[in-house]
Amino acid sequence: MLVTDHATDQDHVRPARPHQKLTDDGRRVREVLSYSRRGSRFTTRQAAAWEAHHERWVVPDEAVDDSGFSWDQAFGRQAPLVVEIGCGTGEATAALATARPDANVLALEVWLPGAAETMGRVAEAGLTNVRLCGVDAVWLLEHLVAPDTLEELWTFFPDPWHKAKHHKRRLVTPAFAAVAAERLRPGARWRLATDWAAYAEQMRDVLDAEPRLEGGVVERWAERPLTKFERKGLAVGRTITDLTYTRRA
């Protein structure tokens, strides 16, 4: 049996990925996801970046179904794994991966045009330590990252799902926080930022209550670049909250 360093499941069969789960009579299971599928149309630039780089840098969704899948293999080297959830167009990814040549930076983005644009930035920056994957980060962290291994986790401006009926779709929930905290290695950090005050409060409540984590609201992380998304929030008068939590030993 092939059990890799980063795979967590002890046997060959992982539960189906989101969008692959079927009812007994073959219908798609309705799932609560932290994203909605946005348009998949590429701009000319995104199409060119996808064409040029996807074979080398994108981990195809089906690849993770392979029982022998490992992140070290996907990156072509053994190095500490840093995960960014929802990289958008990759502004933070490119800047932060440049500052971390020692790490394998896995950018998770279900919106393919964003992943394509991220690749364009990564290429422009001359980086080789970034890979992209479009599989749901919630599923992926639980099933493809082993407990106590993650070097760092970044979650910048996750979708706020501001209507009360959609709060259940927010990424930072007690259940997800438990999985994420368990994946971090002791002493490793989960860095978050949001421009949505009520979500910042939820993040604090949820992460304060997670026994494996300690931390809270912090000064803006100096290395985190100001993104277009963040500028838009600032332009309409929102306050940005940065949070950092550390996995307890």
Ligand X SMILES: C[S@@+](CC[C@H](N)C(=O)[O-])C[C@H]1O[C@@H](n2cnc3c(N)ncnc32)[C@H](O)[C@@H]1O
Residues that bind ligand X (CB under 6 A): 34-35, 85-88, 92, 108-111, 114, 136-138, 156-159, 171, 227, 229
The DSSP bridge partners found for residue 218 are: 242
Buried b (16+ CB within 10 A) or exposed e, 145-165: bbeebbbbbbbbbbbbbeeee
Count the alpha carbons within 13 Å of 140 in the hemisphere toward its beta carbon: 27
For ligand X, the closer of residues 136 and 210 by Cβ is: 136
Question: Is 159 designated active site?
Answer: yes
For ligand X, the closer of residues 114 and 215 by Cβ is: 114
CB of 24 to ligand X, least distance (A): 26
Q: Give the orientation angle of helix 44-57 with respect to helix 112-124, to 10 degrees.
A: 80
Taking CB atoms within 8 Å and a gap of at least 24, the contacts of 208-212 are 209/174, 210/174, 210/177, 210/178, 210/181, 210/245, 211/248, 212/178, 212/181, 212/182, 212/184, 212/247, 212/248
**Residue of this chain nearest to ligand X (CB atom):** 86
CB of 134 to ligand X, least distance (A): 7
For ligand X, the closer of residues 38 and 56 by Cβ is: 38
Q: Which of 144, 138, 215, 146 is nearest to 174 (CA)?
A: 138
For ligand X, the closer of residues 210 and 230 by Cβ is: 230
CB of 32 to ligand X, least distance (A): 11
Which residue out of 159, 195, 205, 242 is catalytically annotated? 159
CB of 98 to ligand X, least distance (A): 16
Any idea which residues carry the catalytic annotation? 159
